[in-house]
Chain A
Amino acid sequence: MAATTTPSPVTGPSVKDAAEHARRSNRKWALGLLIAVVVLFLLYWKILPAVGGDTASFFRKWLSVSAASEMVLWVIFALGLNIVVGYAGLLDLGYVAFWAIGGYVAGWFMSPFASEMMNDKSWANLKFNFLGHPPAIQGLDRGIHLNFWLVLPIAGLICAFFGVLIGAPTLRLKSDYLALVTLGFGEIIPQIFRNGERLGPGGNFNLSNGDKGITPVDTIPTWPFSYIPGVPDQLGLRAEDLPFKFLVYCLLAAAIVFLSLRIREGRLGRAWLAIREDELAASMMGVPLMRTKLAAYAVGAFAGGIGGVAFATFVNGIYASRFDFAISIILLAMVVLGGMGNVWGVTVGALVLAWINSTGLEQFGNTFNDAVGTNINFKNYQFLLFGLILVLMMLFRREGLIPETRTKQVLAEPERGELEAVGADLEGEQA
């Protein structure tokens, strides 16, 4: 395995130094983001409601608590995709499928919907509650209600299973072909949900409630922290629950960051990097290609499942129209922009793009129009802007905003010389 971590022999520091360096950098990033989260949480929870006035309205415009929550949710998905694309180098254009599966798992296990899954109403009296928290509205305790914290790993595991299922047939494919197949899966799964209102014999089975979507989703319980004064028992729709929901999403994102960092250090992570850089060489060194690639799909999908459940609690429902191709592309852009393979880079990339998407561009446009006296609708140019950013990044900073040291080294290597190229051709002829 040592071969897979050998840095560039000329310029790179020793392996030990590099590892120590990376660890230090990770600690600083983690501490920095933790401080940012705590500051924001205190701001939303106590400071802004007390201050009010212009400060509060400024934050509401530029970074409301719900906008911050949505950004953190995007981070969860981007980190999941980073494992597949950034670590293992498997281009995946259908990641939205896992977001969808995660969401629908929440719809099945923590909403009244399970009691409506048989169109002949044979399940209408189904009631199962295991530590769950259905909304306190008459009649909504039907269906299956599991605890939010339990549904998270269930959704993660179901997604991991589908990740392997999707990964298996694509193992022999590379680059473009792989991307096309994943694109196909990313289209098929949301379509199944969108049309999944009448399946099975006689159209009796309602998988997803089709276009209508599933509402409402159960609340998030805060036990044992609910003993702390000021912390609500359940996080639902009330305005005062939102800062705590933000904290919960940050916690989930932190868990995925931790998972990403730990796996990367270990045997599996190093095997992924080896495959990413040279699949042939990796297999010659004894890396089991099939198992390693499937593990990448599974772990990436697991994060998607967690995010899908969290997102369902954010919008209080699951709507089929959300799961569309553009989502996969935006996620990919987040990973590429931030710096493929670097957890912190991807986190920052996701935060920046999600912020532009939600409030950033609109508010920037308003400010710009007010200052210059123009009337440009900036939001209409969003995709132009995204495209421009990506083109500029590819021209001037291919490795992303905060690149991985390793990527930087790979990109810094000189192009293959002419003679080498000729040699490669000759080899090809001999074979």
Chain B
Amino acid sequence: MDARVRLGAVGITAVMALAACGGGSTGSGSGDGGGDGKKLIIATDLPLQGASKDASQSTNNAIKLYLKQIGYKAGKYTIELKEYDNSTAAKGAWDDATCAKNAADHVANADEVAVMGTYNSGCAKIIVPVLNADPNGPMLMVSHANTNPGLTKAWDAGEPEKYFPTGKRNYARTVTTDDYQGAAAAQFAQEKLGVKKVYILNDNQTYGQGVGKAFETEAKKLGMTVLGNEPWDAKQTSYASLFTKIKALSPDMVYMAGIYDNNGGQVVKDKVSVLGDNSGVKLMGPDGLTGYPELQKLPQGQGMYLSFGGLPIGQLKAQGGAAAKLLNDYKAEYGTAPAASYALYGVSAVQVILAAIEKSDGTRKGVNDAVFTGDGITIPAEKSAIGAEIKIDPASGDLVAKDVAILVLKDQTETFLQAQPVK
């Protein structure tokens, strides 16, 4: 009985007393890069387990490498990196409760001045309001991968105001949003492919619906006929009847707004089997279909057009400059190339944060103000990790430049075709 009382009374505290024995070594193990300035922590907040693990780990690796190269310094401050994981093993993906927990931890850690992340827009929607409500802030967050437009501009009801309870902005990103990608695709289709009638398919998820909606809006504006915007059911085994229906409307192009994981391969196959190969009725898709070797090797995929919000790794390498150097150094350091171009975008987000720290007084509020007041932050093209100038619009936190690359599947690879600046 006594044992029970003890167990209950001390409860959780006992567990931690136990853990305290080892706690000391964790604290002493934190190595800073040396230097005399005040120590500031930048956090990364990424899903380190499950499907996005490789992309996230190479992002962390690239950032570590970059910080080492610049000597862990930003102006007079010494920079330390702290990695947070917003996924759980159980889900193999980002987890809402973990995002909420990380958000509270970012705010509680007084030395932390800014967060690089997140990978998933859904997680950002949980963290941004908490960082925003921080009385010592708002605390800055810069994402390298969130493409959902609602985080920075009017999109769904209440967006983006509902993410900024104090009314001040604290969220920026170094990627182009879904709406621009859809719009760029529509402009490319009209100018270069001469498309007049288009049928849109979406995968019924946030991303696919968003890109599809943006494509539809722009296509109508450009005077194209949108024959339909319909979801495809990822669980179906065949889309032949869907495409037979579409064939009767005789479109010039099918726009496939969604991610490849949602049975995209079957959609592509059935498109070709019913509507013919991609030189006749064109097929085009967003960056949710890029980076899949399976699709690149698919015979029916050849001739398909793809768009990508930014420049792909191959193009960055060919272009030379800071991005190419970073890619080479990465290979020298870790033995392999980064798993996704998001690694470089992660570095670009850190570059924005470092520039903000340099301009600031070292407080959270100061760092955030450096991005959202005055001219904001600009990283010149020769220093930028993504091969193009990064200029953050201080009003919205979005990139000023809206570069979208158009790729075409040729000889089983994604070949860079042209850059499509969004008008």
Contacts and interface: CB of A to CB of B under 8 A. Distances in A.
B36 interface: no
Interface stretch (A9-17, A287-295, A365-373, A391-399): A365-373
B126 interface: yes
**What is the predominant secondary structure among interface residues of chain B facing chain A?**
helix
Nearest to B132: A237
B89 interface: yes
Interface in B109-163: 109-110, 122, 125-126, 129-130, 132-135, 156-158, 161-162
Interface string A131-172: 000011111101000000000000000000000000000000
B25 A25 contact: no
A237 B133 contact: yes
Contacts of A402: 4
A242 B96 CA distance: 17
A315 B25 contact: no
Nearest to B164: A137
Contacts of B122: 212-213, 319, 321
A316 B8 contact: no
Interface in B315-364: none
Contacts of B134: 238-239
Contacts of B70: none
A195 interface: yes
Contacts of B108: 56, 60, 64-65, 239
Interface string B80-101: 0000010011110111111111
Interface centre among A58, A115, A348 (most CB of B within 10 A): A58
Interface string A348-372: 1001000101101011101110110
A139 B133 CA distance: 18
Contact of A358 (B23, B101, B103, B162): B101
- How many B residues are at the interface, by size bracket? 35 or more
A66 B158 contact: no
A36 B26 CA distance: 25
A33 to B, nearest CB: 5
A195 B204 contact: yes
Contacts of A314: 97, 100
A238 B91 contact: no
A251 interface: no
A115 B157 contact: yes
Contact of B8 (A29, A67, A70, A216): A29
Contacts of A348: 7
B293 interface: no
B205 interface: yes
A363 to B, nearest CB: 7
B13 A216 contact: no
Contact of A370 (B26, B157, B167): B26
A380 B90 CA distance: 10
Contacts of A237: 129-130, 132-133, 165
A366 B26 contact: yes
A212 B13 contact: no
Contact of B99 (A58, A138, A140, A315): A315
B104 interface: yes
Interface string A335-359: 0000000001000100100010110
A254 to B, nearest CB: 13
A176 interface: no
10 contacts: A31-B9, A32-B10, A61-B26, A66-B104, A70-B97, A70-B101, A135-B162, A316-B130, A367-B19, A382-B89
Interface of A: 24-25, 28-29, 31-33, 35-36, 39-40, 52, 54, 56-68, 70-71, 73, 112, 115-116, 124, 135-140, 142, 195, 197, 210-213, 215-216, 236-240, 242, 311, 314-317, 319, 321-322, 324, 326-327, 330, 344, 348, 351, 355, 357-358, 360, 362-364, 366-368, 370-371, 379-380, 382-383, 402
